[in-house]
Structure 1
């Protein structure tokens, strides 16, 4: 009876997560459209919209939704390690979830290079935690299970990829395999995935990719592309973990003492990068990635470095937003860059390989990277080259960044909490 009740609560929370994710996705699409229309005929307006928008978002975050800044995945992973239920409830609260939802939409509306995936994970974990708190007897084991199930549901909903959601919860969040946990994780991913399917039908995140990579000379470029992607992803992760080491002293002091002004500066830098790229690096750059993966249309050669920088300044600004989707776009740019430099390489195939190499370099979770790339493109024929790229990308990344980015950020979050700072006031 107790198991049945628990499963029903997990299923209910997964359905709620799915419905919220649908609303979130529609909101992101609408917000991106608003930004595109606002800047279509007056490109220069980004020099007002981006800095003012970033400053407004950080002001709202600090005054109305403190603790909602950043990706959301490190906070969820930190909650896994918390023994105190009060701390977990503060990190995975309705207020934080609401702030994440609204402020991420506002970020897309002002062109921030962010993703919805990290916020969706934290929202999913918050929904699971709230439902579990209302209907089940609290324990640390149950608390962990609720968070893991919420993470699986979040990734499933964000990417329409239930297998990736399950693997993400096990490999990236739990870092261990427990068959008692896996059943609940699968249940949450399955139910949330079915909710999306019933509401929207089956639509792979990036559409159906025709990519293939027969055995031949093109395979010689796979380890090089994956290695470069992994090193770039590791560099990105290292900067996120220890940004103070890479910023001049005056900028560090500005970030510490005047966070709203620093956010405006980040917005101004984003505007300059976006203007130089003719608008290609604003928001998640979903259209550019999809075109490369499904039609073989290459973005410009400078797309990858400019998208790298735009995502970096967007995250460091302190606004809410994830790094999953922008990282995938950077990877696509790296892969298609090889096709630019070596004509004859299959564009869609190397877009997938670059995506796997860079993304696995950022998160250092090769199974998750492989599952996400394959499910998002509905192309199991590319499993072997994508898997090899993800493994090589992870290995290359560890030469640059020793600790996986989300785990390093989770530990930073926990250290701040341990120094008696209210959880709701914790930053990135």
Structure 2
């Protein structure tokens, strides 16, 4: 058995380890840079969406021309210069984290160059008027920044590339959602099951610092304000809450399943067109999204936070003023088509918006006076169903809505929705990552790869230099 630690000896060792302290400073400096990169992504993406909204005021027909053209341009640019920046970003980080991925191949999925391309690509998607999120891409952006720290670390630092990737990816979530605790939980639940005892404290500090950078810029405020639960009882919320969780579990599982089908390339004429003419296919998807945006007066465009805020603020009027099922269904379609184009963008933000729509629909359907609580449960449940990370979903929604009084209800809805989703679909991010790793192996070992990650797929740039699109 080890003896008690010697305080004076430990203090001398710490004070004498100059290079070790320098390595720690390097990691913390890059944590600040990762947070600033996510802040830059947020500001540029919001500016791009605001510019699109301004263009819509010039005529109802403008999106019908603008959205397909810009979508096609973004897809062409990504395929030409940065195929690894396409899609969500979380599967790319998981692939870079996988022990099976050769070190020389990691730059195809995570790098400083791809982080810059990701920022421009996501902003381009929002400028086009697509239904994409910026939180998932923030994972890849921050991971690329943190991984660059390895160039300045000493060989004896004890900090591995894996730990830098985990810290960077989690820092991206912490800064994007303004929820440092959510970033830590995401690191444990999704990115890594373990951190070495030697450096876990340093990595957690890096995640918190990146989150605090976002807090210092945007303020220490809940993104969606505070959900009022005064007068809400377990019995009054049990039946409608159960309905919300089940509906979100089924719909979220369906979202995950169609995204995987689109990513893998099923044998139909649409996927065939995407393989042969990916830029044209992106333009056609953009046209369909523009039509949906016209029907909803632009409500489905972008991440969806503004519409979610409006639902929460007007929760008391839902039974009389809400238009049921229209927004939820069209936001689902727009988000799916946006991901199918191959434009950089995530599903975290749209999932929160769709879940809020489900909660509002159920509140209208049962004429519940607890609309705000059901909307929060829907946000948590749908995010948990799509990502199949219930604890992360619960923490994120709890922090974004200041819903600490609903922690048990949020956890129950997240667990139930995630369970239902697993009966409908395989895990979204880990399945995509497995397919990416499969495409890296020699053909005789991996067998036929999915269409979207082979030289014949929509994600191809040129033979030998392909990247997946989702």
TM-score, structure 2 as length reference: 0.86
Q: Counterparts of 1:75-224 in structure 2 under 5 Å?
A: 75-82=92-99, 83-137=101-155, 142-176=160-194, 179-180=197-198, 182-211=200-229, 213-224=232-243
Aligned-residue offset at 1:41:
4.5
For the aligned residue pairs, the C-alpha RMSD in angstroms reads: 2.1
Q: What's the counterpart of residue 430 of structure 2?
A: 407
C-alpha contact (below 8 Å) 1:31/1:109 kept by paired residues: yes
Unaligned runs of 5+ in 2: 1-16, 444-462
Relative to structure 1, the CA distance from residue 292 to residue 132 in structure 2 (aligned partners, 3 Å threshold; closer, same or farther) is: same
Q: Deviations over 1:325-371 (max 9, x none)?
A: 00110000000001111113311101111111111110111100100
Once the two structures are overlaid, the 10-residue window that deviates more, 108-117 or 283-292, is 283-292
Q: Distance in 1 between matches of 2:442 and 2:323?
A: 47
Relative to structure 1, the CA distance from residue 306 to residue 182 in structure 2 (aligned partners, 3 Å threshold; closer, same or farther) is: farther
Q: Is 1:342 matched with 2:366?
A: yes
Unaligned runs of 5+ in 1: none
Q: Is 1:63 matched with 2:80?
A: yes
Q: What's the counterpart of residue 449 of structure 2?
A: none
Q: What's the counterpart of residue 280 of structure 1?
A: 299
Relative to structure 1, the CA distance from residue 86 to residue 382 in structure 2 (aligned partners, 3 Å threshold; closer, same or farther) is: same
Aligned-residue offset at 1:400:
0.2
Query: What is the aligned counterpart of 1:418 among 435, 441, 449?
Result: 441
* Displaced runs of 4 or more, over 6 A: 138-141, 244-248
Aligned-residue offset at 1:293:
2.7
Q: Distance in 1 between matches of 2:178 and 2:36?
A: 13
Q: Deviations over 1:20-70 (max 9, x none)?
A: 222221112211111111113522211111111110110111112222110
Q: Counterparts of 1:6-85 in structure 2 under 5 Å?
A: 6-82=23-99, 83-85=101-103
Give the secondary structure class of the aligned counterpart of 1:126: helix
Kindly tell me the number of residue pairs found equivalent between the two proteins: 427
Aligned-residue offset at 1:281:
0.4
Give the secondary structure class of the aligned counterpart of 1:407: helix
C-alpha contact (below 8 Å) 1:169/1:185 kept by paired residues: no
C-alpha contact (below 8 Å) 1:210/1:294 kept by paired residues: no
Relative to structure 1, the CA distance from residue 84 to residue 139 in structure 2 (aligned partners, 3 Å threshold; closer, same or farther) is: farther
C-alpha contact (below 8 Å) 1:54/1:319 kept by paired residues: yes
Q: Distance in 2 between matches of 1:275 and 1:269?
A: 10
Q: Which has the larger radius of gyration?
A: 2
Q: Deviations over 1:122-175 (max 9, x none)?
A: 011101111123324399971110111001110011000000000001101114
Q: Distance in 2 between matches of 1:285 and 1:86?
A: 38
Q: Distance in 1 between matches of 2:65 and 2:212?
A: 42
Q: Distance in 2 between matches of 1:133 and 1:121?
A: 20
Q: Distance in 2 between matches of 1:419 and 1:425?
A: 15
TM-score, structure 1 as length reference: 0.94
Query: What is the aligned counterpart of 1:264 among 283, 288, 298?
Result: 283
Aligned-residue offset at 1:248:
6.8
Give the secondary structure class of the aligned counterpart of 1:398: helix
Aligned-residue offset at 1:252:
1.3
Once the two structures are overlaid, the 10-residue window that deviates more, 194-203 or 313-322, is 194-203
